[in-house]
Amino acid sequence: MDRLIDTPHIVELPKMPDARGNLSFIEQCRHVPFRIQRVYWIYDVPGGEGRCGHAYRTGEEFIVALSGSFDVKVDDGVAETVFTLNRSYRGLYVPAGYWRTIDDFSTNSVAMVLSSTAYDEDDYIRDYNQYLKFRDE
């Protein structure tokens, strides 16, 4: 069964340029295609570090580099695509069912993640072989 009904893609966010500092914003169901149930952020990551890969069975995510840069690798079990995020007016939509890894954080980078679900460990697939089985179910 093909569980992947949408593909990861970059979304350009509104940007209000201003000499006093630029402003961008996100509205649910407009810039992200889901209702936002949770926001978390990853920070104080030593330069060059990365986070483990995992997939969510149902959770969708929208990832923004609020500061600095990092790479999001998205893998559907066949091919991997790398998205470098380094602008705070651009986000990456990751549909449910993709294996995703975030790495190569720059020093002082901040990754903000909007999620379609509350935190639920049961929604995680943390083993890549188990992920491949999930994809084939």
Q: Quick count: other Cβ atoms within 10 Å of Cβ 94?
A: 25
Q: Report the nearest approach of ligand TYD to the CB of residue 118 (Å).
A: 8
Nearer to ligand TYD, 13 or 114 (CB): 114
Residue whose beta carbon is closest to ligand TYD = 51
CB closer to ligand TYD out of 15 and 101: 101
The residues that touch ligand TYD, with contacts defined as CB under 6 A, are 38, 40, 51-52, 54, 119
CB nearer ligand TYD, residue 25 or residue 119: 119
> What b-and-e string marks burial along 39-49, b requiring 16 or more CB atoms within 10 Å of the CB?
eeebeebeeeb
Asked if residue 28 lies in contact with residue 95, where contact means CB atoms within 8 angstroms, the answer is no
